[in-house]
Chains A and B, each alone.
Chain A
Amino acid sequence: MKVPCYISATGLVTPLGFSVKDNFNLLLKDISAIQKHKDGTISATSFYAAMLSEEKIDAQFQQLGNPKKFTKLEKMMLLSLGQTLASSAVKISAKTALIVATTKGNIDALEQDSSFEEKRAYLPELAKKLVAFYNFTTQPIIVSNACVSGILAVAVAKRILTTDLYDNAVIVAGDLVTKFTLSGFQSFQALSDSPCKPYSKYRNGITLGEGAASVFVSKEKPDSNAVQILGDGTSNDANHISGPSRTGEGLYRSILTAMTEAQLEANEIDFISAHGTATLYNDEMESIAFTRRRLQHVPLHSLKGVFGHTLGASGLLETVIGLEMMHQKTMLPSVGFDVVGVSKPLHILRQLQHQPIDVLLKTASGFGGCNTAVLFKKVS
Chain B
Amino acid sequence: MDNTYFISDFCHITAEEVSVNGTVILKNETAGFETFLKEVYQAIDLKYSKFFKMDTLSKLTFLGAELLLKKEGSDVENWKETALVFSNKSSSLETDRKHQQSIEDSENFYPSPAVFVYTLPNIGMGEVAIRHQLQTDNAFFVFDEFEPEFLQKYTVSLLQEKKCSQILCGWTEVDGVSRHGFFYVVSQHGTTLHTKQNIKNIYTQS
Which residue numbers of A lie inside 8 Å of B, CB to CB? 1, 44, 103-105, 107, 110-112, 121-124, 127-128, 139, 141-146, 152, 156, 159-160, 162-165, 179-180, 183-188, 233-242, 249-250, 253, 257, 261, 366-370
Contact = CB atoms under 8 A, between A and B. Distances in A.
Interface string B104-132: 10100101110011011111011101101
B158 interface: yes
Given A187-B111, A187-B112, A139 B143 contact: yes
A159 B158 contact: yes
Interface stretch (B11-19, B34-42, B64-72, B90-98): B90-98
16 contacts: A112-B104, A142-B142, A144-B121, A145-B138, A159-B161, A160-B157, A165-B149, A180-B99, A185-B116, A234-B137, A235-B135, A236-B138, A238-B129, A241-B117, A370-B122, A370-B125
B133 to A, nearest CB: 5
B27 interface: no
Contact of A234 (B130, B139, B149): B139
B140 interface: yes
A188 B116 contact: yes
B158 to A, nearest CB: 6
B143 to A, nearest CB: 7
Interface residues of B, number: 52
Contacts of B158: 159
Interface centre among A139, A146, A238, by most B CB within 10 Å?
Answer: A238
Contacts of A179: 103
For B84, B133, B161, the residue with the greatest tally of chain A CB atoms inside 10 Å of its CB is: B161
Given A111-B100, A141-B141, A368-B122, 17 more contacts: A1-B160, A104-B96, A110-B97, A124-B142, A139-B143, A143-B140, A143-B141, A146-B123, A164-B153, A183-B99, A183-B116, A184-B119, A188-B113, A238-B129, A239-B130, A240-B130, A369-B130
Interface of B: 84, 89-91, 93, 96-97, 99-100, 103-104, 106, 109, 111-113, 116-117, 119-123, 125-127, 129-130, 132-144, 147, 149-150, 153-154, 156-158, 160-161, 163
